[in-house]
């Protein structure tokens, strides 16, 4: 059995707990408040600590959890302030334990099926568009910084180091809207757009020399060259549990890379203000 501490008693912390508690034979879960962890670091040690607290608390919670867990999963956005990334990078560089990322949307059945198709495609010279709409969910963080990490993580499944391989062609950002267009030397383009909206929508379009793929994560369907295809579920776990197992079996290289990517995006957003 895997012992898990979920730190943060907001809606997301409760959702994580409910998901893992469906598999009580696999997970033993304690839901803790960030306030109690910050006031008195828990004496109990865990296999996994999943930080689900507010961004302004996450770095301090991380620092207090390093000696209490074998694996720490970082919530998005990783840092509230640009200067906090140095503290996170310092901890990741120690190499004393494992780190993972909260990215269950990367383990949805629709996206797993899509990446299985795309891994055999030629993506050089392709156009990839990430489109998202969603409501303001929090008062303590802008909608852009709340929602954009979703698509940044999805894009990293296709282009693991896109901040190194792509240049910025166009950027427009404000608290409620975000547009970023990137291009590479091999004429690949990647576009991100987000608009604060009362309804949710999340789609990915890939137009490549190998074909066309449209993924609707909100409505859970895929079109391959215009034809709807069956989505297969890889196992009986939901995306949260798949995320957890993937991070248990993962390594720190990806996490360090994605911390750098989020820092890069945060820098672009700050520069656009």
Structure confidence by residue, pLDDT tens digits, 3-54:
999 999 999 999 999 999 999 889 999 999 999 888 887 778 999 999 999 8
CATH homologous superfamily for the domain 105-272? Dihydrodipicolinate Reductase; domain 2 (3.30.360.10)
Supply the pLDDT for residue 43.
79
Residue 31 pairs in a beta bridge with 6
Q: Are 210 and 122 in contact (CB under 8 A)?
A: yes
Question: Does position 126 have pLDDT exceeding 80, yes or no?
Answer: yes
Q: What is the mean pLDDT of the chain?
A: 90
Residue 194 pairs in a beta bridge with 132, 178
CATH for 2-75 (3.40.50.970, 3.30.43.10, 3.30.565.10, 3.40.50.300): 3.40.50.300
pTM of the model as a whole: 0.90
Mean pLDDT calculated for residue range 100-105:
93
Supply the pLDDT for residue 173.
86
Q: Is the sign of the CA dihedral 192, 197, 198, 199 positive or negative? A: negative
Q: What is the pLDDT of residues 56-91, one digit of tens each?
A: 899 999 998 888 899 999 999 998 889 999 999 998
Supply the pLDDT for residue 61.
92
Question: Does position 109 have pLDDT exceeding 90, yes or no?
Answer: yes
By C-alpha distance, which of 214, 142, 126 is closest to 177?
A: 142
Supply the pLDDT for residue 214.
98
Mean pLDDT calculated for residue range 169-195:
91
Task: Spell out the domain ranges in the chain.
Answer: 2-75, 105-272
Mean pLDDT calculated for residue range 229-252:
87
Residue 100 pairs in a beta bridge with 73
Residues 7 and 16: their CA atoms lie apart, in Å, by 10
| Residue 22 CA from chain centroid, whole number | 22
By C-alpha distance, which of 271, 272, 264 is closest to 85?
A: 264
Supply the pLDDT for residue 119.
93
SS3 call for 215:
strand
Residue 250 in tokens:
């993962």
Spell out the SS3 assignment of 97-118.
CEEEECCHHHHCHHHHHHHHHH
Question: Does position 252 have pLDDT exceeding 80, yes or no?
Answer: no
Supply the pLDDT for residue 97.
80
By C-alpha distance, which of 72, 53, 63 is closest to 138?
A: 53
Residues 108 and 114: their CA atoms lie apart, in Å, by 10
Q: Are 225 and 212 in contact (CB under 8 A)?
A: yes
Cα dist from 10 to 31, 53, 71, 199, 243, whole Å: 10, 8, 21, 22, 19
Using a pLDDT cut of 70, give the percent of the chain over it.
Answer: 100
Question: Does position 94 have pLDDT exceeding 90, yes or no?
Answer: no
Residues 219 and 201: their CA atoms lie apart, in Å, by 8
Supply the pLDDT for residue 182.
93
| Residue 165 CA from chain centroid, whole number | 20
What per-residue string of b and e applies to 7-33 under the rule 16 or more CB within 10 Å gives b?
bbbeebbeebbebbeebeeebebebbe
Question: Does position 202 have pLDDT exceeding 80, yes or no?
Answer: yes
């Amino acid at each position: 059995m895997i012992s898990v501490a979920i730190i943060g008693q907001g809606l997301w912390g409760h959702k994580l707990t409910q998901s893992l508690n469906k598999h009580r034979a696999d997970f033993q879960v304690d839901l803790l408040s960030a306030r109690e962890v910050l006031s008195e670091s828990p004496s109990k040690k865990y296999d996994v600590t999943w930080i689900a607290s507010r961004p302004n608390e996450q770095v301090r919670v991380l620092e207090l959890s390093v000696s209490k867990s074998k694996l720490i999963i970082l919530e998005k956005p990783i840092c509230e302030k640009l200067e906090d990334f140095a503290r996170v990078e310092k901890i990741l560089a120690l190499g004393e334990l494992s780190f993972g990322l909260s990215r269950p949307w990367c383990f949805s059945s629709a996206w797993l099926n899509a990446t299985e198709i795309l891994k055999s495609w030629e993506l050089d010279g392709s156009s990839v568009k990430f489109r998202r709409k969603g409501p303001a969910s929090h008062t303590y963080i802008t909608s852009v910084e709340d929602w954009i990490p979703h698509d940044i993580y999805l894009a990293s499944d296709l282009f693991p180091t896109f901040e190194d391989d792509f240049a910025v062609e166009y950027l427009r950002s404000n608290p409620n809207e975000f547009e970023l267009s990137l291009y590479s030397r091999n004429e690949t383009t990647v576009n991100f757009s987000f608009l604060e909206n009362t309804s949710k929508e999340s789609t990915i379009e890939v137009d490549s020399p190998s074909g066309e793929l449209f993924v609707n994560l909100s409505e859970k369907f895929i079109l391959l060259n215009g034809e709807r295809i069956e989505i297969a579920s890889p196992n009986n776990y939901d995306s949260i549990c798949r995320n957890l197992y993937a991070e248990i079996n993962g390594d720190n290289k990806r996490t360090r890379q994605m911390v750098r990517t989020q820092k890069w995006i945060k820098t672009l957003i700050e520069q656009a203000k």
